[in-house]
Structure 1
Amino acid sequence: MNDRLDFKGRTALITGAASGIGAACARFLDRSGSARLILVDVDEAGLSALDLQCETVRIAGSVDDPELWSRLEADLTSLNHAIVNAGIGGFGEIANLDLAEWRRVMSVNLDGAFLTLSSALRAMQKTGGGSAVVTASVTGVKPVPGIGPYGVAKAGVAHMARIAAAENAKHNIRVNAIAPGGVDTAIWEGGEDFLKSVKAIGREATLKTMAATTPRGQFATPDELAGEIGFLLSDMAANMTGHVMISDGGFSF
């Protein structure tokens, strides 16, 4: 293993860790030598099901709960890395959304990301440096109809990462964002059209149909995203901060 991609002895925080990209990141960092992982998700059973070799702290709760971060402060000592990943889907056109749905998505995807990142930054300032990656989305870069508050929140977290990078370079902390296109995760299950298609033609065929708009012709896997996030976290990306890396199979060409 290239020692610049070695996380031996390091502590990392991952939100949305019970499934999808977050779980793949947990497995990646575990394989890469991490000493300790702090995993947060609302899905307690999913967290418990993760088979990891390193020391783990598994916290069941929502990232948009300020009290959760107050309780977690003691666990964030010696933090080296953070993956700000928790999120929920949001669908519907802007003109037809009510405020409750807007706030539901913003609460987790934007407010929760803020609470996560700000807590992680304070902890890494105390440890003398580190790196963070925020999971944004290509829908925060390229306007996509019908995703309502989701795309707006993801545009917000991408810019939040840039601002945090500018503010924390003096603390030896790098902050980047990744903006995936389609990824085969459970987040699609909240979409009515997706579920109708799955019922009609199956999940695999539905994802393949959706990916037809992408030059690569398929959605990414969580493990593929985990490798890219791992690179951004690692010393191999030592000169990268304030960057939003698009990983979308060519969708935003």
Structure 2
Amino acid sequence: MSFDFSGKRVLVTGAASGIGAACAKALAKAGADHLALVDIDGDALGALDLPCAVTIHTGDVADPALWERIEADGGKLDGALLNAGIAGETALIAKMDFSNWRRVLGVNLDGLFLSLRTAMRLANDGASMVLTASVAGLKAEPGTSAYGASKAAAIHLAKGAAKEGAARRIRVNAIAPGGVDTSIWDKLPMFADLVEKHQGDRAGALEEMAGYGTPMGRFESAEEIAGQVLFLLSDASGTMTGTTLVSDGGYSL
């Protein structure tokens, strides 16, 4: 399926890598006129080299001052992918440091609220938005409660925004991926141990992880998720709003 975003101005958070970068590239390829890209890694944003007008906003999505600057810059939005997030440390609730809980919720929920608030304020009538949730927000696993709670909240936040935006035909949906091959895994000690077990074979480590509970036996690529995000942002998704597209290889079954 091909999409046409000609003349559209779209906000993408967490755009420097992974799903965010894949979506920024896909939107530019689909003809987006202007992309407003947000990430804490400004150098990586600048290296994307996209074939459209780009405005780069560098900063922490959980910092209200960042969003005050973005709103002051102006520019109405036809779409938004609110994707910035972190995984945090894997820890059982009884052993989790409160600082880890706050760090994850700070980025994944506070940052999501602030970015969604700005997107709703700048949205044109008929705009479409996608919040990046996770299958972890639907299916609990030991050690992932901070991340899972933040993503469950993202799913509900999308529903609330969808109901509030409906009068202006603003659509807000969430996407809940399962395992996706992105650099977020490389920041987790448990994944580093798995790569070492596979003698440096990252693909082998991902395959083993997929085998733990994903019936289809593989993780998706960021580019596959980008195609699904563009569907939700486009007119092809019709009146879909307040929904969560689960793309997890059967993990949640």
Using the size of structure 1 for normalisation, the TM-score is 0.96
Of 124, 132, 142, which aligns to 2:129?
Answer: 132
Partner of 1:65: 63
Question: Does 2:217 align with 1:217?
Answer: yes
Question: Does 2:9 align with 1:22?
Answer: no
Deviation at 1:164, TM superposition (A): 0.6
**Partner SS state of residue 151, structure 1:** helix
Partner of 2:236: 236
Q: How does 1:111-150 map to 2 (within 5 A)?
A: 111-124=110-123, 127-150=124-147
What is the identity percentage for the equivalent residue pairs of Structure 1 and Structure 2? Answer: 51
Query: Aligned Cα RMSD in Å?
Result: 1.2
Q: How does 1:94-243 map to 2 (within 5 A)?
A: 94-124=93-123, 127-201=124-198, 202=200, 203-212=202-211, 213-243=213-243
| Aligned counterparts of 1:104 and 1:150: Cα–Cα separation in 2 | 10
| Aligned counterparts of 2:216 and 2:194: Cα–Cα separation in 1 | 21
| Aligned counterparts of 1:44 and 1:180: Cα–Cα separation in 2 | 26
Deviation at 1:238, TM superposition (A): 1.8
For each residue in 1:153-200, what CA deviation from the matched residue of structure 2 results, as whole angstroms up to 9, or x when unmatched?
000011000111011100110000000000001111232211111122
| Aligned counterparts of 1:151 and 1:220: Cα–Cα separation in 2 | 19
Deviation at 1:218, TM superposition (A): 0.9
Contact in 2 for aligned 1:97/1:148 (Cα 8 Å): no
Partner of 1:37: 35
**Partner SS state of residue 38, structure 2:** strand
**Partner SS state of residue 52, structure 1:** coil
Moved over 6 A (4+): none
Deviation at 1:128, TM superposition (A): 2.2
| Aligned counterparts of 2:204 and 2:10: Cα–Cα separation in 1 | 36
Using the size of structure 2 for normalisation, the TM-score is 0.96
| Aligned counterparts of 1:225 and 1:76: Cα–Cα separation in 2 | 29
Greater helix share, structure number:
1
Structure 2 unmatched ranges of 5 or more: none
Contact in 2 for aligned 1:178/1:244 (Cα 8 Å): yes
Deviation at 1:94, TM superposition (A): 1.1
| Aligned counterparts of 1:70 and 1:238: Cα–Cα separation in 2 | 32
